[in-house]
Amino acid sequence: MSVRLNPDLRNELVQYGIGDWNACYHCGTCTAMCPLSEEGFLFPRKKIRLMQMGLGDQLEASVEPWLCYYCGDCTTTCPRDANPGELMMSLRRFMTSRYDWTGLSKKFYTSEVWELAWIIFFAILVVLSFVIVLPSFGFHYTSELTADGGVKVNSFAPIRIIETFDWAMAIIVATLLMSNILRMYYAIIWKHTNTKVSLWVHIRELWLLIYNFMVQPKFSKCDSKGYWVSHWFLMSGYTIMFIVIVVFLPWFQTEEILPVYDPQRLLGYYATFGLLFGLFIAIVGRVKKKEVKFQFSHISDWLFLAMLTLTVITGILIHIFRINGMPMATYISYIAHMAILVPMILIEVPFSKWSHLAYRPFAVYIAQLKKNAVPR
């Protein structure tokens, strides 16, 4: 692997939220304290060293920043207040930008004006679709209610059109995300190393991907188990809601008022509870700033939390208004819900804060591949 110093790297990293990167004097306490650092994958001190030396390619080839779950133990014990936990967090933003071939991730992470402008742009497009485009095809507001007193949602937001749009959005986002994850794989396993991994090892270790996505066992090794629980509820609620609105929308967006114990309503209630619980812990933690992991919030953290909270609230309002036969309130909530949901999925999922949900399990998988790499 050729070693190329980048004298501008330190200035570049500051744009991703890295604070006093030069405070560290390499005592190694953080690495010793980290519950997730292990032989072969030592962090955070080694990564700080790479940062300070301007070794951008070596950072790009590192999987370690993704193995950190930001428990904050290293920051609490650092004798120099170098805040290694936040340095790792900022590195993840930087690395997301390096993997992203479109360059949008870098734009969104380094300019809140840019990110807000795109969110507003997509929100306006959504509103115009409901106010101008769909009515011109005969889909519009009706005060007529269903036989059981519910709102006729599908006459305003036709299920087939919304479902087709959801699928198109999911395919675009998945393609972008997977292409960037392939670049991550290439950087860590191939580009900057002289090693290779057999096809059999790739197949054998695939279970790690699913297991880590669903359980996040490494996160549970951190001292604060409570945060792991709330994060798990948030992640599971989000995943269920995403699958339901993309894959099972015709089953979910019904006009009939189903009994409260119906699986469709129970699943919706669980996902809503999971999201609200996770969001409550994350927002209150960031407002109180008592725990280290909540003390330094990047603008992208707040934007993601704000958009997700508004998506959940508008989703709850749609449900309440729909089953209580309030058409206008239902339609307005539906437009507001989509105007927040669409930019969140198109921007946050592939390019910004949300993408860590995909990068992390892949990182654990790639780390395992790296352990099994042989010289080529």
68 binds ligand SF4 (CB under 6 A): yes
Question: 5 CB contacts (<8 Å, ≥6 apart)?
Answer: 53, 54, 55
Only segment of 69-77, 108-116, 253-261, 364-372 that touches ligand SF4 (CB under 6 A): 69-77
Among 9, 17, 18, 44, binds ligand SF4 (CB under 6 A): 44
Helix (H) or strand (E) run with residue 355 in it: none
The answer to whether the CB of 305 falls within 8 A of the CB of 286 is yes
82 binds ligand SF4 (CB under 6 A): yes
**Read out DSSP for 18-80?**
---TT------HHHHH-SS-BTTB--SHHHHHHHHHT-HHHHHT--HHHH-----HHHHH-TT
In the chain the first and final C-alpha atoms are separated, in Å, by: 13
Query: What number of other Cβ atoms are within 10 A of residue 270's Cβ?
Result: 15
Among 66, 70, 94, 294, binds ligand SF4 (CB under 6 A): 70
Restricting to residues 177-236, name those near ligand SF4 by CB under 6 A. Answer: none
The answer to whether the CB of 159 falls within 8 A of the CB of 253 is yes
65 binds ligand SF4 (CB under 6 A): no
- Angle made by CA atoms 231, 233, 234, in degrees to the nearest 5: 65
Q: Compute the CA torsion angle 10, 14, 16, 17 (nearest 10 deg).
A: 130
Among 9, 13, 18, 34, binds ligand SF4 (CB under 6 A): 34
Least distance from ligand SF4 to the Cβ atom of residue 376, Å: 30
71 binds ligand SF4 (CB under 6 A): yes
Backbone angles phi, psi at 297, to 5 degrees: -95, 130
| Between 73 and 205, CB nearer to ligand SF4 | 73
27 binds ligand SF4 (CB under 6 A): yes
User: What is the residue type of 41?
Assistant: F
Only segment of 80-88, 133-141, 224-232, 242-250 that touches ligand SF4 (CB under 6 A): 80-88
Among 6, 15, 29, 239, binds ligand SF4 (CB under 6 A): 29
Only segment of 37-45, 51-59, 102-110, 160-168 that touches ligand SF4 (CB under 6 A): 37-45
DSSP letter for 308, please.
Answer: H
Among 13, 16, 17, 43, binds ligand SF4 (CB under 6 A): 43
84 binds ligand SF4 (CB under 6 A): yes
370 binds ligand SF4 (CB under 6 A): no
Residues at the contact surface with ligand SF4, assessed by CB under 6 A: 24-30, 33-34, 36-37, 43-45, 48, 68-74, 78-80, 82, 84-85, 88
